[in-house]
Amino acid sequence: MTSRISTEIAENARAWPFEEARKIAARLGGKKPEKGHVILETGYGPSGLPHIGTFGEVFRTTMVRRAFELLRPDVPTRLIAFSDDMDGFRKVPTNLPNQEMLKQYLNKPLTKVPDPFGTHESFGAHNNARLQSFLDSFGFEYEFMSSTECYTSGMFDKALLETLQHYDEIMAIMLPTLGAERQATYSPFLPVCPTSGNVLQVPILERNVDAGTVVYEDPESGKKVEVSVTGGNCKLQWKCDWAMRWHALGVDYEMSGKDLIDSVKQSSKICRALGTPPPEGFNYELFLDENGEKISKSKGNGLSVEEWLRYGSPESLSLFMFQHPKRAKRLYFDVIPKNTDEYFQFLDSLETETDDAKKVENPTWHITQGKGRGNADQVPLSFGLLLNLASVCHAEDKSVLWGFIARYAPGATPESHPTLDKLAGYAVNYYQDFARPAKHYRAPTELERAAFEDLVTELKALPADADGEAIQTQVYEVGKRHAFENLRDWFKALYQVLLGQDQGPRFGSFIALYGVDETIQLIEKALKGENLAA
């Protein structure tokens, strides 16, 4: 349960989930909805493997849901995760196995395409299972709905007949948005061919509102075919489908990507034509890959949830999704360490905050549903430090890191600090897969060599109980005594020569963790050029 804050705080909070929740509250006008609850929806197109953007939409919608529950605790909420699995299979994503087999099923509904992985009854079912699996792993509360089931079970029949009744109004909305060639063939209804099973994009020749049927010309035989618009015999074009779904389910809130702004406008007009106000929502910015290009399920150029969780905590992923939803952000492996450390920084800040109004502006208040750290263990050192420790130790297993951690944080063990233990595992994985291949050591210049030798002398003179701050002071003093243009050049030399990278941790803290004697040996190896051979 979300921790209780006053309605007044919820009404004035600036955090974006509260801003969105207030839209839903305003929609209700102080009343309870006739259906007895509020529905928030997220949509998923299972034409490609689920990617992290799908998770992001469910996570963000959940944040809005929780904020609304604080504003209107008297109104129950439902979150529907809807899969468009009756869509026609238009192209084969390049990141799938059995490409030739899949090509034989183009234009079939996704739930009629065989699973290329061989684990489920269809490709649509496989991707639906993947979606639900990782949503379940994060503990989301949601109801899964399948487009195929909604169409074939009759759940959408009433709304489909109403769509047929408003056919001309819908065409008047859609045709001006289409090119001349598309206008000539466009119809809101896509018949499912009784013989081939294909989802057909063909002109509708006749409509019979009383019978609830449409007539089209079969593209293979050339004969006219009359089919019912209900019972799964037809599917709607997706903008019409989106609007019909909002109408049929009574959706109150749905967010979507910036690339769908025009689609939201058209679907909203269609929804109004069907007699229902469109849902509230906002358009979030799209995620970018390492090259600054939009991530795509079909290209497979984004991260999966599973990939993120190999290198970072679930909370770090949640923070990435929470922060700045209307700002385009690179979604690549190198953002994981920063978000991991920032999560714990925000959590520490939340622990010390006493003002409830300020607490709800902290991302970790939303991520933890107001619980904060709870019974979770403290993390006495940063993930960045663990990464650099794994790097300098060439760690193959997190047990190697614990030999150093226990010295830095006396009394800490994997059992007493399970969160820290998980971070150590993430650090080893990240080092092995990313840091190690990217390492490039260089030899020191003459100026740097003199500074390194000076640093060795200072380290040997340190008292045995010197902490990270005391060591950091000496590192600074050494840099100041030598003719570096600025101290940034001194620290850059430390990172490049000793760690094989351009950036690194607060060096005094790193030495305290790694050990003074071990750091002296590291410097001496670098001065002999032994690190270059490694």
pLDDT digits (tens, 9 = 90+) for 344-358: 999 999 999 999 999
The predicted pLDDT at position 296 comes to 67
The predicted pLDDT at position 504 comes to 84
178 pLDDT above the threshold of 70? yes
pLDDT digits (tens, 9 = 90+) for 38-80: 999 999 988 876 678 888 999 999 999 999 999 999 999 999 9
The predicted pLDDT at position 511 comes to 94
How many angstroms separate the CA atoms of 12 and 3, rounded?
17
Q: Name the more confident of 505 and 141.
A: 141
pLDDT digits (tens, 9 = 90+) for 391-450: 888 899 999 999 999 888 999 999 999 999 999 999 999 999 998 898 899 999 999 999
Fold entry, domain 446-533 = Arc Repressor Mutant, subunit A (1.10.10)
Stretch 6-31: mean pLDDT, rounded?
A: 96
Q: Do 53 and 43 form a contact (C-beta atoms < 8 A)?
A: no
Distance set, CA 27 to CA 65, 70, 81, 379, 488 (Å):
14, 16, 22, 43, 54
Q: Of the ranges 250-264, 268-282, 428-442, 443-457, which one carries the lowest mean pLDDT score? A: 428-442
The predicted pLDDT at position 394 comes to 86
How many angstroms separate the CA atoms of 145 and 139, rounded?
17
The per-residue pLDDT of the chain, averaged, comes to 93
Q: How is domain 7-178+237-284 classified at the architecture level of CATH?
A: 3-Layer(aba) Sandwich (3.40)
Q: Where are the beta strands (DSSP E) in 289-368?
A: 329-330
Stretch 310-326: mean pLDDT, rounded?
A: 95
Q: Do 336 and 308 form a contact (C-beta atoms < 8 A)?
A: yes
pTM beyond 0.85: the answer is: yes
How many angstroms separate the CA atoms of 110 and 127, rounded?
10
Share of the chain above pLDDT 90, in %: 83
59, two tokens: 């996570």
487 pLDDT above the threshold of 60? yes
pLDDT digits (tens, 9 = 90+) for 96-134: 899 999 999 999 999 999 999 999 999 999 999 988 987
Burial class, 357, CB count within 10 angstroms (exposed 0-12 / middle 13-18 / buried 19+): middle
Could you tell me the pLDDT band of residue 301, with boundaries at 50, 70 and 90? low
HSE-CB at 76 with a 13 A cutoff on CA atoms is 6
The predicted pLDDT at position 1 comes to 38
- Tracing tokens 């995620």 back to the chain, one arrives at 287
Give every CB contact of residue 224 below 8 A, 6+ residues apart in sequence. 205, 215, 216, 217, 218
197, two tokens: 């099973």
How many angstroms separate the CA atoms of 87 and 107, rounded?
8
Could you tell me the pLDDT band of residue 2, with boundaries at 50, 70 and 90? very low
Q: Name the more confident of 162 and 302.
A: 162
The predicted pLDDT at position 398 comes to 95
The predicted pLDDT at position 49 comes to 65
